[in-house]
């Protein structure tokens, strides 16, 4: 039998396959008056094995290449052993999809139409040149895997500008691994369609700088660990600061529900604000200087010490009270 390859059209519901094995129902148009319908045409894959490989949906109306393949050779009868002859067994296989050229409305002139390829994102794939610079895998509803390797040459060197792998949904949620050169490249981006994103930068040309991580969201940012610790540390070789800033009109709360809050510095701890209020609801307030002095000073106001019970002042050495006037009044 002479093997021929035909172009066939996938029938309506021709991609419905109860065996879940990639079979199609197609129709070969041999001529304007003669057609041939084929059912359960088997598929092939470029690579794979048992429960592995690559496969996608073939939409009805698409055109595919089909051919017949001999899957089992027949036997020639042998008089010594008896038995009759058997014919070769052929099965139909579809080999791949035939991209089509379709007419679309010209965006510059709605009264005209122009031809466009049905390749996935052909305009982007052939962007700036007539040579495809991306490998694109796209589902029927628009989910995409994009592998870009556009090369820009300059002088005796070759600079790779668009060099990335990107996984993107049809709603523009994406993960982009960018190995390109220049501002906006050489980074990892996890983002959604609203502008919420995590950016890992490898180059100093991107903010906030080289080897940095940027977390950005439009709503609340919530960090929670159920059983572990949360540690924010600047390494011992770092010369930068750790800053917690609220540029809005709200407050900053530091709260320990069941334990202590410890603030420790090798040098100074500075509190600067309009008012400072320290309240112990049920316990004591203790201010201790292990080796140095304790100074309480009001530059333009009064200092009041008020207790419902006793006030004890003890000095291990001398006590000095200096004022223009000292009044001691028994209540």
Instruction: Give 33-54 pLDDT, tens digit per residue.
Output: 888 999 999 999 888 888 888 8
User: What's the chain's average pLDDT?
Assistant: 84
Say if residue 161 is in the same domain as residue 74.
no
One domain, residues 94 and 129: no
Residue ending a domain, among 160, 183, 216, is: 216
pLDDT in tens, 259-300: 888 888 888 888 888 888 888 888 888 888 888 888 888 888
Residue 24 binned pLDDT confidence (cut-offs 50, 70, 90): very high
In a domain, 292, yes or no: no
At 108, the pLDDT band (50, 70, 90 cuts) reads low
pLDDT tens digits for range 239-258: 888 888 888 888 988 888 88
93 shares a domain with 123: no
pLDDT of residue 15: 94
Q: Which residues of 215-227 are buried (b: 16+ CB within 10 A; e: fewer)?
A: eeeeeeeeeeeee
In this structure, are 121 and 210 located in the same domain?
Answer: yes
Q: Output the pLDDT for position 183.
A: 78
Give the residue numbers spanning the domain of 76.
5-100
Domain count, the chain: 2
C-alpha 106/C-alpha 83 separation (Å) is: 68
- Evaluate if residue 109 carries a pLDDT over 80: no
Instruction: Flag whether 160 is in a domain.
Output: yes
Q: Of 216, 246, 274, at which residue does a domain stop?
A: 216
The answer to whether residues 146 and 95 belong to one domain is no
CB-based burial of residue 187 (10 Å sphere; 0-12 exposed, 13-18 middle, 19+ buried)?
Answer: buried
The pTM of this model reads 0.69
Give me the percent of the chain exceeding a pLDDT of 70: 88
> Is 276 contained in some domain?
no
Identify the CA nearest to 65 among candidates 49, 48, 43, 46. Answer: 43
CATH of the domain at 60: 2.40.50
Residues 52 and 138 reside in one and the same domain: no
Q: Residue 154: is its pLDDT beyond 70?
A: no
Within a domain: 229: no
Whether pLDDT at 329 is above 60: yes
**Same domain assignment for residues 95 and 121:** no
Domain assignment of residue 195, yes or no: yes
Report yes or no on 295 lying in a domain: no
Q: How far apart are CA 179 and CA 210, in angstroms?
A: 14
Instruction: Write down which residue in 173, 190, 216 finishes a domain.
Output: 216
- Is 238 part of any domain? no
127 or 324, which is more confident: 324
Q: Regarding predicted confidence, which is higher, 77 or 310?
A: 310
Instruction: Establish if 228 belongs to a structural domain.
Output: no
pLDDT of residue 301: 86
CA 101 → CA 14, 15, 129, distances in Å? 22, 22, 19
Task: Identify the residue with better confidence: 115 or 326.
Answer: 326
What is the pLDDT averaged over residues 94-100?
Answer: 88
Give residue 281's pLDDT: 84
Confidence of residue 13 (pLDDT cuts 50, 70, 90): very high
């Amino acid at each position: 039998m002479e093997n021929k390859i035909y172009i066939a059209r996938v029938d309506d519901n021709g991609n419905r396959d109860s065996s879940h094995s990639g079979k199609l129902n197609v129709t070969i148009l041999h001529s304007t008056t003669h057609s041939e319908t084929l059912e359960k045409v088997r598929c092939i894959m470029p690579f794979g094995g048992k429960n592995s490989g690559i496969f996608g949906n073939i939409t009805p109306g698409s055109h595919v290449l089909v051919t017949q393949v001999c899957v089992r050779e027949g036997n020639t009868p042998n008089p010594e052993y008896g038995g009759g002859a058997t014919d070769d067994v052929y099965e139909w296989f579809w080999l791949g999809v035939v991209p089509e050229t379709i007419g679309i409305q010209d965006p510059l002139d709605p009264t005209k139409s122009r031809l466009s390829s049905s390749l996935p994102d052909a305009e982007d794939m052939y962007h700036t040149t007539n040579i495809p610079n991306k490998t694109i895998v796209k589902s029927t509803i628009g989910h995409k895997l994009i592998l870009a390797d556009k090369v820009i040459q300059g002088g005796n060197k070759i600079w790779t500008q668009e060099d990335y792998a990107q996984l993107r949904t049809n709603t523009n949620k994406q993960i982009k691994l960018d190995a390109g050169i220049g501002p906006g490249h050489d980074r990892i981006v996890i983002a959604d369609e609203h502008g919420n994103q995590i950016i890992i930068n490898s180059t100093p040309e991107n903010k906030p700088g080289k080897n940095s991580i940027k977390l950005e969201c439009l709503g609340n940012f919530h960090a929670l660990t159920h059983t572990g610790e949360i540690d924010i540390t600047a390494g011992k070789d770092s010369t930068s600061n750790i800053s917690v800033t609220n540029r809005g009109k709200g407050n900053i709360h530091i709260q320990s529900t069941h334990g202590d809050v410890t603030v420790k510095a090798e040098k100074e701890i500075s509190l600067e604000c309009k008012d400072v209020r320290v309240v112990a609801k049920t316990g004591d307030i203790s201010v201790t200087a292990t080796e140095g002095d304790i100074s309480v000073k009001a530059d333009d106001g009064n200092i009041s010490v008020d207790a419902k019970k006793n006030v004890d002042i003890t000095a291990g050495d001398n006590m000095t009270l200096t004022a223009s006037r000292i009044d001691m009044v028994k209540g």
